Amino acid sequence: MIISFFNVLKTAWSRVNDAIMRGSSRVPVPCFDSPAEVSAYLMAHAVYTGDPLGGAADFFLHPERLQAAMQQGPSYVRRLSVDCDDYASWAYAALALIPDCHPQLYTLEDSSGQWGHHVACAYTWRGDQHGVIDTNGHARLLDRTQEQLCRRFTSVYKSRGYIFTAAVATPYPF
């Protein structure tokens, strides 16, 4: 419940931030042939910088703004606030361009008490191939269920002590 409420506020703040930055450079997200290519491009060009105030002012960066910075190079990406939700929303925009690919953003809820929530973009491709793209790259999944997503990211972030217990479908904000 709190994740859904937080996502409504975050989406509104993302749209306000994007409106404020409407004059910034934008480039359409390119087309790719597969989810693996989407991830390979993202991992080669994006730079994790984090959101302002240690995430307290968290927002989704418009994928076209991230794309423009990625095309200009790492020093331009470092000028932006880029974290997991920005990787995920860029992946969503790119995956949505692939025929028969159905992306969905998810906010994973951490129940460890550390507030280690995470955003990733899961997808179904060609009806029977499932996977996820986030700041860790691309991973295949058996299916796109909450259980698979929580298992995957609890394992990835085991060293930080995060325990993901819910994967809440998150609307694409743009």
d(CA 91, CA 135) in angstroms, rounded, equals 10
**pLDDT digit string, tens, across residues 12-35:** 888 888 898 888 899 999 999 999
* pLDDT of 54 strictly over 90: no
pTM comes to 0.93
**Residue spans of beta strands (DSSP E) within the chain:** 101-110, 118-125, 129-134, 137-141, 164-170
* pLDDT of 113 strictly over 90: no
In the chain, where are the structural domains located?
A: 2-170
**pLDDT digit string, tens, across residues 122-167:** 999 999 999 999 999 999 999 999 999 999 999 999 999 999 999 9
Comparing CA positions, the residue from 50, 121, 53, 54 lying closest to residue 80 is: 50
Q: What's the one-letter identity of residue 82?
A: V
Q: 115 pairs with which residues across the strands?
A: none
Task: Render 22-59 in DSSP notation, one character per residue.
Answer: TTS---PPPP-SSHHHHHHHHHHH------GGGGTT--
